[in-house]
Amino acid sequence: MTGRGGPLRHVLLSLADDELVLGHRDSEWTAFAPFIEEDVALASIAQDELSHAAVYLRLLAEAEPDAPEDERDPDRLTFLRGPEAFRNARLLERPNGDWAYTCVRHLAYDLFDDLRLKALARSGYRPLAEAVDRLAREERYHLVHGRTWLARLGEAEGEARERLALAVGAVMADAPGLFEESPEDELAVAAGIVPAGPAALAAPWAEAMRAELAPIGLADRVPPPETLVRDARGDGPKGPLGGRRGRHTDDLSALLSALGEVYRSDPRASW
């Protein structure tokens, strides 16, 4: 490996895997979204997420030209890695559930990713800072989409309102995983790859999420930043999380099995 080695690899895989896993989940809504226009909109978002994952994986390949092919080839990294090699937050690997859960999860992640991209725009690793500047423009559309649907769902009553409240609760239960840190994050900060670790985003994220939920009366469901950071460290009642360290749920195993089925049938094929 060349360049910044371990910490850069960790940062790029965390970015790529978040986008890859959520992009696949979004793609599962194709032909099942509430109406055809939303089929098109969410398919477009899924395509964006997957293309962003590809950008991060290409950056990794360029940063580690001497690494074994299995560790740098974007296709192999996407389709042949086991769950233990993925660095995505567990929130993103959960099954889609109903439409309310999908929309709330997307907004929660997009608010986090918006903060993360703004921080990475100051990265001392120039290729990453330049890539982030381009990707952030597309991510802004994702935020608009999420805010629009939250407002729309927030106007509902009865069962729809109950589903929305349940969705917020389920997303908040997994939200600390977005801010989980590993030793590689500390090294990445020291090397100037990132200005601060994920935990530094907990406070602005909680404030932003409360602002989004306040108009529909659900702001009190957002944990305070100190709780998010505590749980992200694994000090809370649930114990260690582990998504950023390769400890995942069985949901990710099933997702990766479906994601790589065609590629594994003939890894030498060109598509």
What is the per-residue pLDDT for 271? 53
End-to-end CA distance of the chain: 29
| 59-103 pLDDT per residue, tens | 999 999 888 888 899 999 999 999 999 999 999 999 999 999 999
pLDDT tier at 50, thresholds 50, 70, 90: very high
Residue 252 in any domain: the answer is: yes
Q: From CA 22, how far away is CA 61, in angstroms rounded?
A: 22
pLDDT tier at 265, thresholds 50, 70, 90: confident
What is the per-residue pLDDT for 240? 67
Cα 226 off chain centre by = 21
CA distances from 43 to 16, 141, 204, 232 (A): 18, 13, 29, 31
Residue 263: phi and psi, rounded to 5, are -60, -45
Q: From CA 43, how far away is CA 49, in angstroms rounded?
A: 10
Number of domains in the chain: 1
Q: Is 97 left (phi over 0), alpha (psi -120 to 50) or beta?
A: left
What is the per-residue pLDDT for 3? 38
Residue 224 in any domain: the answer is: yes
Residue 102 in any domain: the answer is: yes
Residue 1 in any domain: the answer is: no
**pLDDT, averaged across the chain:** 92
Write out the two tokens for 155.
Answer: 């106007």
Q: From CA 64, how far away is CA 58, in angstroms rounded?
A: 10
Residue 208 sits in a domain of what CATH number?
1.20.1260.10
Domain that holds residue 243: 6-265
Coil, helix or strand for 270?
coil
